[in-house]
Structure 1
Amino acid sequence: MTPTDRPRLAVRSPADLIAAVPYLLGFHPADSVVVVALRGPRIVFAARTDLPGPDADPLDPAVHLAGVIARQGAESATVLGYGEAARVTPAVDAVRGSLAAAGLAVLDALRVTDGRYWSYLCAEPACCPAEGTPYDVGASEVSAAAVFAGQVALPDRAALTAQVAPLGGPAAPAMRAAVARAERRRDALLAGAPAADLIGGRTLRRAGVAAVRAALRQHRRGDRLPDDEVAWLTLLLTHLPIRDHAWERTDGRDADIALWTDVFRRAAPELIAAPGCLLAFAAWRAGQGALAAVALERVLSAHPGYSLALLLDELLRGGVPPSRLDGWPAVNAPAVLRPRRRRPRGPRRPT
């Protein structure tokens, strides 16, 4: 799910909207239902979910989608289903009904596949022929404007997932060796901690603050962190005060997203939880809900009980806009949300 606070795209027709959707989501959807929400004439939010499977009830994801859209303060919406009619039609019908029940006007409902679209709300052969209306995303002014504004639409969601996947090849054994060196460095640091420093907490915090600051400085200079510094940073981030120090200094800046993406992809498997959550938080703050979602999926797959991942997952599932939590997290701020125990996986959350 993605708040659309990016450069504005002028959408004047169904073909324009179809061309805009990949840039609103960050990737080209397939076998999906997408809801584009509007407040007045302005697009304010876009949410996507997979088409329900053959034995699934299409009403469950539809009700959730409608609730997410309603929480954005939207007034109206357009529904787009991507795929074959047998799967798209029941899903689109369920979403239309749920949006209407939530008090939202449905401006149009489209099925999109193989370079053509069909409207579920228009029966005029002159504008909505039975064979569908052809469109060409590549020729759209919307696509050109999005590219000019620096927006990117990846080929599919799998390409987005690949952006947060662990690095292969010799990177993994090199990082494993770096983690072993970092553990010895930590042990030596704690062995030299003053007796008054209970279990080395203050000593670790000083080292963690220094590591976070050094990583931010190096990245701002355009330097990639060496393996030893990634291993040291990710090992220290397992201590919550250090992770929270990094969290308080993470926002939706491109530099934050780039830094935590690099660290997340290179981290040893047992150390991915904190950098993955920092990436997810930065992406959510930037309005890149799909990137946040795939980062959290990887974290929760490896560390299903990690509390910050569960908290951020709750934000995404609920469609909470970043503006509602401006200034969060902050030192001594009251708790805003409490992470729930992880529920069994139901329909995929909108992305």
Structure 2
Amino acid sequence: MALLLSVSIIGCGGSDSAGPPVIVTQAPDADSDGVNDAQDTCANTSANATVDSNGCAPTQLDNDDDGKNNAIDQCPATPQGEAVDILGCGIDTQGGASPDDLDNDSVLNANDSCDATPRDELVDAVGCSASQKDNDADGVSDDIDVCDTTPNGEPVDIRGCGINSETQVLSSAFVERDGLLVIELESTNYDGDWQLRTGRLSSGNAYLMYQGNNNFNLPGVDVITVPIVINQPGIYRFSWLNIIGEGDSPTEANDSWLQINSENFYAKKISNAQGDTPLGHIVCPVGRPSSNRCEGEAPEGSSSQGWLKVYRTGSPVDDWVWRSFTSDNDPHAIFAEFDQAGQYNILISGRSFGHGIDRLVLYRSENPNSNVSEETAISLDRAESSRE
């Protein structure tokens, strides 16, 4: 670019005379980083970025050539060709950890307040997972603490609940708000052969795994009773986040028994991906009580005493999935209709050894209005519903 300057020249006699225009040439600088284009080795630098003498910002440089730019690289001298983590620090590709992050939780040792974090557990900014924290200092880690605000010094049980308060907390109902219920299974009054497990990238870092005998034709064993309060009557769809915790078959250790004591507990065909029945086809629990007005056929496979076998489909088997169907080889989604506001129960019974359940949702669906989308309901950003 060229600048046109007018320069005044004052003579010896004290009189001024305007001199001719002086042309000053300024070298081009396309990205306005203060380094002219002829010397700038990094074009298109972001506005206001700090650059070196070559016109390069840290985000444009990778001094150790590990694929992580200098702005995020916390290990800037990684040997050539060494695999790195998200921080640009070397990792052992045979499964070991970086010397700079010994527990491999993506928080460098210098900033990590909790070393030896178990594998696959989510951590906070200082490298601590829920299993390594105890916010109410009751001796029960946060990942399994059902009562996480226990008063200081109060004796607690294995769930972190005060000896006199556990029954009240665990028997209180989860409350539906705005057409949605979200329940973590580890927060329920589980017992028997349902065992608490942690890790595996589960929601809240904890989940329940059934470790009892297979009850393929006998519902009602090791029942978890989950009291709920419905404020908005209507049609609700049910789903749970579940995993196959034993073996590698997608059709084993993949189901549990379910019953919801609503006025209409049933399952409906919502996809033609599998099975011969038409869309909208209804199946009803076998042996259902008279209080369940469901009208339809029996599901394929097991159903008894008003319970439905609810299974997951697909693989890989060790992934958490929101798949909850009944009727073998002809998947029907699970629904419950609530005619009036009030308290109801969701009942879960052990069926297959090794079936893991993390959280469940119940959300308004297929009503004329005020429905909740599946995407909204199953988002893990949703906090667990409050109790009353």
Give the TM-score normalised by structure 2.
0.23
Structure with more of its chain in helix, by fraction? 1
Which structure dedicates a bigger proportion of its chain to strand? 2
Structure with greater contact order relative to length (CA < 8 Å, sep ≥ 6): 1
State which structure, 1 or 2, has the greater radius of gyration over its C-alpha atoms.
2
* TM-score normalised to structure 1 length: 0.25
